[in-house]
Homo-oligomer: A and B are copies of this chain.
Amino acid sequence: MTFEYTPPKYAQLIAELERRIDSGEYPPGSPLPSEHQLMAEFGMARPTVVKALGVLRDQGWIVTHQGKGRFVRGRPAMPTAQQVRTGRELLDRNEAQVSGRLLSAGEVEAPNRIATYLGIKPASPVVLRRSLVEHDGEPIEISSAWLPVAVADGTALAESADLKHGVRRYVESAAGASLDHIVEHVTARNPTKEECGLLGVKSSAALLTVYAVACDATGRPWVVVETVLPGDRHELEDAYPIL
């Protein structure tokens, strides 16, 4: 019994056209072969050709002008499935894979900012799990996760043992739903005394802090992951289309 997988025809056409654009055979600005030419060359019906071209348009490879044709834009410079984002990385980070040490794991009163993000009353009890992340023996980052006690209850998140998986896995099983999107808040501030000692920076240093609120598909927040980085050693990168 053999399992042969042949991709759908339209996917083959997509791959071939991407190859030709990448190779320079279809340089940016040049017109693509018309739908009928592609039908003839690849032996496909028109809807199949159109479907493939629609995907290429949605991904930014080409632009179409009704009555004129389709024109090459080039390999989309924007990574279509976005790049590494701070919040996503924090959510899926595995404590066993990054070197560092757990600072605390337990119940605290929610600071105003965290309470706002989680949609709960200030000073409500939340579970805070905080770690110092090191690289080559140097402290580089303090990362924290804040959850309502109702979510953290019964999970390993409030325990002092290393987590086997990222925070996301625990939250999703407690939530019974999958996390859908992240809202990030970035700001700069001076360190607290504790952070000075942990990160080994002066009290006048500028810290970059990122709060990432992870929500389900209905927009309900489930967890806030936070990271604090010395600004002189790190920068965040992000890319997005204009308009």
Give the interface of A toward B (CB within 8 A): 28, 47, 58, 60, 73-74, 76-78, 82, 85, 87-88, 91, 168, 179-190, 203-208, 214-215, 217-219, 229, 231-232, 234-243
Contacts and interface: CB of A to CB of B under 8 A. Distances in A.
B236 A187 contact: yes
Given A28-B218, A187-B231, A231-B187, A85 B240 contact: yes
A239 B181 CA distance: 7
Interface of A is mostly: mixed
Work out how many copies of this chain go into the complex: 2
B218 A181 contact: no
Contacts of A217: 28, 60, 73-74, 76-77
A238 B179 CA distance: 16
A217 B47 CA distance: 28
Nearest to A214: B242
B88 A242 contact: yes
Contacts of A236: 184-187
Nearest to A63: B217
Contacts of A60: 217
Given A190-B205, A204-B204, 16 more contacts: A74-B217, A74-B218, A76-B217, A77-B217, A77-B218, A77-B219, A88-B240, A180-B242, A181-B240, A182-B242, A184-B238, A188-B229, A189-B232, A190-B206, A205-B206, A238-B238
